[in-house]
Chain A
Amino acid sequence: MASEPGAPAILAIDLHLVHEVTSPQAFTGLRERGLKVRKPGQTVATADHSIPTLDPSLPIVDELARKQLAQIEANCREFGIPFHGKGSPTRGIVHVIGPELGLTQPGMTIVCGDSHTATHGAFGALAFGIGTSEIEMVLATQTLLQRKPRTFKVEVTGRLQPGVGAKDVILALIARIGIGGGTGHVFEYTGDAVRALSMEARMTLCNMSIEGGARAGLVAPDETTFEYLKGRPFAPKGAAWNEAVAGWQKLPTDEGATYDRSIVIDGDALEPMVTYGTNPGMGVPIGGRIPSPADVEPAAREDLERALTYMGLQPGGSIAGQKLDVVFIGSCTNGRIEDMRSAASVLRGRRVAPGLRVLVVPGSQQVKAQAESEGLHEVFRAAGAEWRESGCSMCIAMNGDQLEPGEYGISTSNRNFQGRQGKGGRTFLASPLTAAASAVTGVVTDPRTLPGVAQPVAVSRSAAVEAN
């Protein structure tokens, strides 16, 4: 709305998502100022980061986590914010429940004290992570002061091969541009390969925009978006639905719009990706080799040496075949029902490798219920994996689910920073398909090498033309 000379614009916020970890100090600030939450009806809260994923009837042993979880509940009660808390069938990771409840809609401005808020950009919403001072600002005013970001077009052409998904696309993008490559920009994902993605896959793609440095990333809404939203609890109903869709159809970027930067990724050529280092930009195709410090530019050499030392990996070695202790399938990146189905498709009728710990953590209680109605939990359990309650779990290792020092984990989450998944833990980031295949063998494994899993189909020239 208003913008005064020299001052940032005042941006109205349509939806504010709140969780237990980054909000307590903001509520304290409100109390100190004697302020209320200005728009509790545009605010929604849940508990996801520090909540245990074990049997919910057990007491929470971590006293700090217990206190933090009690506090979000008390804060929501005091300030009139709807809370999807422990015991609620609609609790879950904040970026999973927003879309599944239909709260996330095209054209909205959405913020949350969490850098993976970009997930909601999959609906053509402007969604980005904020700090606690900004949480307090949004609670108090339902606005933020913002300067306009630059735009960065990410075009993914062609068609993804079997065994290659949205996670591989985003890891490939970040490997190309680096983890600071999108700083100051908003990504817009376009191209045939993006259009062909399901909503859940688009969420995976947008989710990791921040790992490429961009606070937000979005996909223009289309029929796939509307189909996903229709009938969800908070989506418009009846005549309001038709009116809303008509408005959303006008949102996509104009043909021929210009961007500050752009990149084209050949979707046909992408392979499953795995990271070898200590930031999400340190990734290679699964058939590739761990780079050698001698092969990279001098500025990146020390970073790479430090990363390989931490990871305990040999430069020039194959990434496939690296030994694992733990497999984590879940998170706001890959904890939705399609991710559960993808992992289950590999584990059905197979066993996890001896000695390996495999955690499957649904992104929300609704994902959990849906998976159980499809019998996926039985597939995971029969394979020897643990099936848990929903939450952020080992992605951020705040709730007791963590790697032990020195352990190697393959993870469908979003960050492989030093210690991210537990002090001294060592993370390989990958897709649910790759993580599940690796669970079977106990080493980093190309899912396409397992019989019956995502076999490459020979796409003949005529078939490709037909598809066009």
Chain B
Amino acid sequence: MPEPFARTTSRVISIARANIDTDQICPARFLKITDKDGLADALFFDWRFTPDGKRREPVSFIDEPHNAGRQILLVGDNFGAGSSREHAPWALRAWGVRAIVSTGFADIFKGNALKNALLPIIVSAERYAALQALVAAHPDGEWTVDLETEKVTQPDGQTFDFEIDPFARTMILAGTDEIGYVQTRLPAIEAWEATHPTRVETREGVAAK
């Protein structure tokens, strides 16, 4: 079960590029695991290592010592495009990321992130540009992301509001997940199902091995 999460204070890592797909966040060859172990090492792997396995020179931002432990990313539009792999938010969380600020997220990634208490924070294009400038001016400034008040406090003391789906917000603040919620509503689901017959029976028709 996840831990409740309300806020974090951290420095920011800026990745000023758009359309970062989940194949970049966690390449497919790391999807052969049957648990969630080792994914921190898979994060942005091909940006960090050459195809023959050598660490790139200069090292990727992820491997710069001063970025270790930073929990907030500032990234370009449409972050998390592509594959539905939840390994992408798992890898980000395993590395330590708790919040990602962007002008937009791919739908499946956003849903997966929320289920892992990784906050997708959407800002306008104007604010995004201003935040990039601020990070460039104060690369080691501390930011606070507060889910309870839905506010980000910038290193210059200014704040801005953000919105997280209210249902997901409740779940993350409480450290619960949706399965428990739906289970308490099973009687209503069963009543609905009683008047809506199932459409297929996968165990008939052809013999599956």
Given A64-B32, A140-B179, A105 and B199 contact (CB-CB distance below 8 Å): yes
Given A6-B167, A405-B52, A83 and B84 contact (CB-CB distance below 8 Å): no
Tell which of A134, A143, A183, A418 touches B78, judged by Cβ atoms closer than 8 Å.
A183
| Shortest distance between the CB of B12 and any CB in chain A (Å) | 20
**In whole angstroms, how far apart are the Cα atoms of A464 and B60 in the complex?**
57
* Residues of the A chain whose Cβ atoms lie less than 8 Å from the Cβ of B32: 21, 50, 62, 64-65, 67-68, 398
Q: Is A153 among interface residues, defined by CB-CB distance under 8 A?
A: no
- The interface stretch among B91-99, B133-141, B149-157, B185-193 is B185-193
Contact B202 A396 (CB under 8 A): no
Interface centre among B78, B86, B181, B204 (most CB of A within 10 A): B86
Q: Is B56 among interface residues, defined by CB-CB distance under 8 A?
A: no
Tell which of B28, B83, B105, B200 touches A14, judged by Cβ atoms closer than 8 Å.
B200
Given A7-B167, A131-B115, A136 and B179 contact (CB-CB distance below 8 Å): yes
* Residues of the B chain whose Cβ atoms lie less than 8 Å from the Cβ of A22: 31, 84-86
Chain B's closest residue to A419 (CB) is: B46
**In whole angstroms, how far apart are the Cα atoms of A300 and B83 in the complex?**
22
B144-196 at interface with A (beta carbon < 8 Å): 165-167, 177-179, 181-183, 185-186, 188-189, 192-193, 196
* Residues of the A chain whose Cβ atoms lie less than 8 Å from the Cβ of B18: 299-300, 303
Given A215-B107, A215-B108, A10 and B182 contact (CB-CB distance below 8 Å): yes
Chain B's closest residue to A395 (CB) is: B28
**In whole angstroms, how far apart are the Cα atoms of A108 and B108 in the complex?**
20
A107-140 at interface with B (beta carbon < 8 Å): 108, 113-115, 129-134, 136-137, 140
How many residues on the B side are at the interface (Cβ–Cβ under 8 A)?
Answer: 63
Contact A137 B182 (CB under 8 A): yes
Contact A303 B17 (CB under 8 A): yes
Tell which of B52, B84, B192 touches A130, judged by Cβ atoms closer than 8 Å.
B84
Q: Is A41 among interface residues, defined by CB-CB distance under 8 A?
A: yes
Chain A's closest residue to B34 (CB) is: A24
Contact A183 B106 (CB under 8 A): yes
* Residues of the A chain whose Cβ atoms lie less than 8 Å from the Cβ of B115: 131, 133-134
A66-91 at interface with B (beta carbon < 8 Å): 67-68, 71, 80-88, 90-91
Chain A's closest residue to B29 (CB) is: A398
Tell which of B24, B106, B198 touches A39, judged by Cβ atoms closer than 8 Å.
B198
* Residues of the B chain whose Cβ atoms lie less than 8 Å from the Cβ of A64: 32-33
Q: Is A230 among interface residues, defined by CB-CB distance under 8 A?
A: no
| Shortest distance between the CB of A443 and any CB in chain B (Å) | 24
Q: Is B19 among interface residues, defined by CB-CB distance under 8 A?
A: yes
| Shortest distance between the CB of A377 and any CB in chain B (Å) | 23
| Shortest distance between the CB of A122 and any CB in chain B (Å) | 17
Q: Is A147 among interface residues, defined by CB-CB distance under 8 A?
A: yes
Q: Is A61 among interface residues, defined by CB-CB distance under 8 A?
A: no
Given A71-B34, A88-B208, A14 and B23 contact (CB-CB distance below 8 Å): no
Contact B19 A6 (CB under 8 A): no
Tell which of A15, A103, A134, A306 touches B111, judged by Cβ atoms closer than 8 Å.
A134
User: Can you give 26 A-B contacts (C-beta < 8 A)?
Assistant: A6-B166, A12-B196, A24-B35, A33-B179, A43-B202, A44-B208, A50-B32, A67-B32, A102-B205, A113-B84, A115-B84, A131-B84, A131-B89, A140-B183, A142-B189, A179-B19, A180-B81, A234-B201, A405-B51, A406-B51, A417-B82, A418-B23, A419-B23, A419-B24, A423-B29, A424-B51
Q: A-B pairs with the 3 shortest C-beta distances?
A: A180-B78, A405-B51, A131-B112
Query: A residues near B, CB below 8 A?
Result: 1-2, 6-8, 10, 12, 14-15, 21-22, 24-25, 28, 33, 35, 39-44, 49-50, 62, 64-65, 67-68, 71, 80-88, 90-91, 101-103, 105, 108, 113-115, 129-134, 136-137, 140-143, 145, 147, 179-180, 183-184, 210-211, 213-215, 233-234, 279, 299-300, 302-303, 306, 396-398, 405-406, 415, 417-420, 423-424
